[in-house]
Amino acid sequence: MGPVVAVVGGGQLARMMAEPAGALQIRLQALVEADDGATAQVVPRSVVGRADDAAAVSEISSGADVLTFEHEHVPQQVLQQLLDSGVNVQPGPGALKHAQDKIVMRQRLSELGVPCPRWRAATTVDGIAAAGSELGWPVVAKTPVGGYDGKGVAVLDSAQDAATVADWLDHPRGEVLLEEKVDFARELAVLIARRPSGQTAVWPVVETVQEGGVCSEVLAPAPGLPPHVADDAADVARTIAEGLDVTGVLAVEMFEARDGILLVNELAMRPHNSGHVTIDAAVTSQFEQHLRAVLDLPLGCPEMTAEVAVMANVLGSQLPDPSSAYPEVMRTYPEAKVHLYGKSVRPGRKLGHVTVTGADAAQARKRAQDAARMLRGE
């Protein structure tokens, strides 16, 4: 009774899909890393297995209307096998390869005319040095596969630094991506959902604040963003979603350069940290929308329900259990929406987030930050 969605991944993103799934009578079948992890704690039908294990992915797909993902780590070969055996995979491997390989992504975005930082691919240390000279030092080096949250990213200041990322060339992929280091004013993200049958819905553009390559805060909507720039950002997201045939939620992370130009930084084809604010501050959350989109159901209204909303991540904690701060946090911030993911504490780990809505952006930001700080035990 009701749709069945198989999801690969047992972290906070699959966990947060469970809330709208419950409301919409959608049954989740999750392939999780551990039977007591973030997702397994809240999804009765969880199976422990690896995302690159074709048999395990096939098992959770059994009886499901669609297979989707909370990360990009299912190999193309496994995805193709699933497609061949008749599984409805959303987003499909043809879209996902652009989230799995940053060089493939840059090539395709360049073909589509999407504004990106200037970039080169290099296969040798000398090639890295040459690309850096061509783009102008410093440059940003990225491993094309497997990087996330600042990992697999390095800033190279000169040709002498090329050797510091030489071991990335040892990966079977054999290439390193070099990008100009954009002198940006701030970072923005725009989230869009797209159905297999084509409908799209775009949430308001947000500003993301990063610390050490990890998202720490999201301000929604992006403060002071001129409407025409917001429209440009939405157009870019639509161009990418359609050009790459993305289904489900697509997060497009962008630099807003000092001259007002937008340049696409990263893509994620799944719910994304920059969209957590939609849970408590949009008519339709990114998690509900992702489920609707991959099931090819009509999309929900993406409008905000508050004038402003700020999300602050809880990254690591001095407390063995951040929920031990609930009495203090809830007393001090009765309006705060606290989310913890059921994860054990490790330094810098994404343990949860707090969203505060209101009419005063500065106040909402301060209160969200302070509440997150309390949960970090600071």
Structure tokens at 121: 């691919």
Q: Which is nearer to its own copies, 102 or 339 (CB)?
A: 339
- Interaction between residue 2 and its own copies (CB under 8 A): yes
Closest distance between its own copies and the C-beta of residue 10, in Å? Answer: 13
- Interaction between residue 24 and its own copies (CB under 8 A): yes
| Whether the bond into 221 is cis, omega within 30 of 0 | yes
Structure tokens at 372: 């997150």
Residue from 78, 244, 264, 338 binding its own copies (CB under 8 A): 338
CA gap 197, 298 in Å, rounded: 10
Residue from 11, 15, 218, 268 binding its own copies (CB under 8 A): 15
Q: Which is nearer to its own copies, 114 or 299 (CB)?
A: 299
CA gap 166, 161 in Å, rounded: 9
Q: Which residues, listed in sequence order, are joined to residue 191 by a DSSP beta bridge? A: 251
- Interaction between residue 377 and its own copies (CB under 8 A): no
CA gap 260, 371 in Å, rounded: 33
CA gap 233, 245 in Å, rounded: 18
- Interaction between residue 9 and its own copies (CB under 8 A): no
10 Å Cβ neighbour count for 62? 11
DSSP letters of 193-217?
EE-TTS-EEEPPPEEEEEETTEEEE
Write each residue from 127 to 156 as x if it is in contact with its own copies (CB under 8 A), else as -, in one continuous string.
------------------------------
Closest distance between its own copies and the C-beta of residue 376, in Å? Answer: 15
Distances (CA, A) of 182 to 139, 140, 164, 278: 9, 9, 21, 28
Residue from 62, 123, 344, 363 binding its own copies (CB under 8 A): 344
Q: Confirm if 293 and 225 have CB atoms less than 8 A apart.
A: no
Residue ranges in 26-45 that form contacts with its own copies under rule CB under 8 A: 27, 40-44
Residue from 127, 146, 223, 342 binding its own copies (CB under 8 A): 342
Distances (CA, A) of 375 to 94, 284, 323: 40, 27, 7
Q: Which residues, listed in sequence order, are joined to residue 211 by a DSSP beta bridge? A: 214
Residue from 109, 247, 341, 365 binding its own copies (CB under 8 A): 341
Write each residue from 43 to 62 as x if it is in contact with its own copies (CB under 8 A), else as -, in one continuous string.
xx-x----------------
Longest pairwise C-alpha distance within the chain: 62
- Interaction between residue 198 and its own copies (CB under 8 A): no
Closest distance between its own copies and the C-beta of residue 292, in Å? Answer: 7
Q: Which is nearer to its own copies, 186 or 343 (CB)?
A: 343
**Choices 16-24, 106-114, 152-160, 253-261; region in contact with its own copies by CB under 8 A:** 16-24
What is the bridge-based pairing of β-strands 139-142 and 153-156? antiparallel
Distances (CA, A) of 304 to 195, 205, 284, 331: 21, 11, 8, 26
**Count of residues in contact with its own copies, rule CB under 8 A:** 48
CA gap 168, 274 in Å, rounded: 28
Give CA angle at 14 (9, 16), nearest 5°: 160
Q: Which is nearer to its own copies, 204 or 352 (CB)?
A: 352
Residue from 25, 167, 212, 226 binding its own copies (CB under 8 A): 25
Residue ranges in 276-335 that form contacts with its own copies under rule CB under 8 A: 279, 283-284, 292, 297-301, 303, 305-306, 321, 323, 326-327, 330-331, 334-335
Residue with tokens 């397994």, as numbered in its chain: 40
What is the bridge-based pairing of β-strands 176-180 and 119-122? antiparallel
- Interaction between residue 3 and its own copies (CB under 8 A): yes
Q: Which is nearer to its own copies, 235 or 307 (CB)?
A: 307
Instruction: Give the residues lining the site for its own copies (CB under 8 A).
Output: 1-3, 15-16, 18-19, 21-25, 27, 40-44, 46, 279, 283-284, 292, 297-301, 303, 305-306, 321, 323, 326-327, 330-331, 334-335, 337-342, 344, 352, 357
